[in-house]
Amino acid sequence: MDSLIDPTTGDYAGQRIDTLANAVYLRLMTPLGSWWADPTLGSRLHELQREKDLARICMFAKQYSEDALRSLLDSARARRIDVSATRTQPGWCDLYIEVEDATGRLHTFQHPVAVA
Protein backbone atom coordinates (compact mmCIF):
# COMPACT_ATOMS: atom_id res chain seq x y z
CA MET A 1 0.00 0.00 0.00
CA ASP A 2 1.22 3.46 -0.90
CA SER A 3 0.27 6.93 0.22
CA LEU A 4 -2.31 8.63 -1.97
CA ILE A 5 -1.06 11.48 -4.16
CA ASP A 6 -3.64 14.28 -4.26
CA PRO A 7 -4.21 15.18 -7.96
CA THR A 8 -5.03 18.80 -7.20
CA THR A 9 -1.88 19.58 -5.19
CA GLY A 10 0.59 16.81 -6.09
CA ASP A 11 1.27 16.23 -2.39
CA TYR A 12 0.65 13.14 -0.29
CA ALA A 13 -2.91 13.17 1.05
CA GLY A 14 -2.16 11.13 4.19
CA GLN A 15 -4.37 8.21 3.15
CA ARG A 16 -3.21 4.70 2.31
CA ILE A 17 -4.41 3.30 -1.01
CA ASP A 18 -3.67 0.64 -3.54
CA THR A 19 -1.08 1.56 -6.13
CA LEU A 20 -3.53 1.80 -9.05
CA ALA A 21 -4.57 5.36 -8.12
CA ASN A 22 -0.96 6.50 -8.04
CA ALA A 23 -0.23 4.65 -11.29
CA VAL A 24 -3.03 6.56 -13.02
CA TYR A 25 -1.91 9.87 -11.53
CA LEU A 26 1.75 9.42 -12.45
CA ARG A 27 0.95 8.39 -16.02
CA LEU A 28 -1.18 11.51 -16.49
CA MET A 29 1.10 14.03 -14.76
CA THR A 30 4.50 12.91 -16.01
CA PRO A 31 5.44 14.49 -19.35
CA LEU A 32 5.87 11.74 -21.94
CA GLY A 33 9.49 10.65 -22.27
CA SER A 34 10.77 12.61 -19.26
CA TRP A 35 11.33 9.70 -16.87
CA TRP A 36 14.77 8.17 -17.32
CA ALA A 37 13.77 4.61 -16.35
CA ASP A 38 10.90 4.32 -18.84
CA PRO A 39 10.69 6.76 -21.75
CA THR A 40 7.23 5.42 -22.67
CA LEU A 41 5.69 6.41 -19.32
CA GLY A 42 3.74 9.66 -19.23
CA SER A 43 1.30 11.72 -21.23
CA ARG A 44 1.14 14.71 -23.53
CA LEU A 45 -1.41 16.52 -21.34
CA HIS A 46 1.19 19.14 -20.37
CA GLU A 47 1.18 20.33 -24.00
CA LEU A 48 -2.41 21.52 -23.66
CA GLN A 49 -1.30 24.37 -21.40
CA ARG A 50 0.07 26.06 -24.53
CA GLU A 51 -3.05 25.52 -26.65
CA LYS A 52 -5.93 27.92 -27.09
CA ASP A 53 -9.04 27.13 -25.08
CA LEU A 54 -11.17 25.66 -27.88
CA ALA A 55 -13.82 22.95 -27.88
CA ARG A 56 -11.46 20.42 -29.47
CA ILE A 57 -9.07 20.58 -26.49
CA CYS A 58 -11.22 18.10 -24.55
CA MET A 59 -10.94 15.67 -27.46
CA PHE A 60 -7.14 15.95 -27.31
CA ALA A 61 -7.14 15.57 -23.51
CA LYS A 62 -9.20 12.38 -23.81
CA GLN A 63 -6.90 10.97 -26.50
CA TYR A 64 -3.69 11.85 -24.63
CA SER A 65 -4.94 10.30 -21.40
CA GLU A 66 -6.09 7.10 -23.13
CA ASP A 67 -2.65 6.78 -24.71
CA ALA A 68 -0.94 7.34 -21.36
CA LEU A 69 -3.09 4.78 -19.53
CA ARG A 70 -2.83 2.09 -22.21
CA SER A 71 0.21 0.60 -20.43
CA LEU A 72 -2.07 -0.39 -17.52
CA LEU A 73 -4.06 -2.54 -19.95
CA ASP A 74 -0.93 -3.94 -21.60
CA SER A 75 0.51 -5.00 -18.24
CA ALA A 76 -2.86 -6.54 -17.19
CA ARG A 77 -3.17 -4.24 -14.16
CA ALA A 78 -6.50 -3.10 -15.60
CA ARG A 79 -9.18 -4.86 -17.62
CA ARG A 80 -10.94 -1.76 -18.91
CA ILE A 81 -10.35 1.99 -18.95
CA ASP A 82 -13.02 4.53 -19.90
CA VAL A 83 -12.14 8.20 -20.22
CA SER A 84 -14.47 11.13 -20.77
CA ALA A 85 -13.52 14.79 -20.93
CA THR A 86 -15.72 17.77 -20.14
CA ARG A 87 -15.04 21.46 -20.38
CA THR A 88 -16.27 22.73 -17.03
CA GLN A 89 -15.13 26.35 -17.09
CA PRO A 90 -12.91 28.52 -19.27
CA GLY A 91 -9.31 27.39 -19.00
CA TRP A 92 -10.08 23.92 -17.63
CA CYS A 93 -10.98 20.50 -18.96
CA ASP A 94 -11.92 17.78 -16.47
CA LEU A 95 -11.10 14.15 -17.18
CA TYR A 96 -13.35 11.49 -15.67
CA ILE A 97 -11.63 8.12 -15.67
CA GLU A 98 -13.06 4.72 -14.77
CA VAL A 99 -10.58 1.88 -14.39
CA GLU A 100 -11.63 -1.71 -13.81
CA ASP A 101 -8.68 -3.41 -12.14
CA ALA A 102 -7.56 -7.00 -12.62
CA THR A 103 -9.83 -8.19 -9.79
CA GLY A 104 -12.92 -6.56 -11.32
CA ARG A 105 -13.20 -3.62 -8.90
CA LEU A 106 -14.14 -0.28 -10.46
CA HIS A 107 -12.06 2.79 -9.57
CA THR A 108 -13.08 6.31 -10.58
CA PHE A 109 -10.77 9.29 -10.87
CA GLN A 110 -11.24 12.94 -11.70
CA HIS A 111 -8.29 14.82 -13.13
CA PRO A 112 -8.32 18.55 -13.98
CA VAL A 113 -6.29 19.72 -16.99
CA ALA A 114 -5.32 23.38 -17.34
CA VAL A 115 -5.70 24.93 -20.79
CA ALA A 116 -4.31 28.33 -21.82
Task: Please state the domain count of the chain.
Answer: 1
Q: Rounded distance, CA 14 to CA 58, Å?
A: 31
Q: Rounded distance, CA 64 to CA 57, Å?
A: 10
Tell me the CATH number at 28: 3.10.450.40
- State residue 7's pLDDT score: 65
Characterise 6 by phi-psi region: left (phi > 0), alpha (psi -120 to 50), beta (else): beta
Task: For residue 82, give Cα distances in angstroms to 26, 74, 79, 111, 113.
Answer: 17, 15, 10, 13, 17
Instruction: List per-residue pLDDT tens for the chain, 116 residues long.
Output: 566 666 667 776 666 556 788 889 889 999 999 989 889 999 999 999 888 888 789 999 999 999 999 999 999 989 999 999 998 888 899 999 999 998 899 999 999 998 87
- State residue 30's pLDDT score: 93
Give the CA count within 13 Å in the CB-facing half-sphere of 70.
9
- State residue 15's pLDDT score: 61
Q: Rounded distance, CA 69 to CA 106, Å?
A: 15
pTM: 0.82
Give the other-Cβ count within 10 Å of 5's Cβ.
Answer: 18
Q: Which domain holds residue 72?
A: 2-114
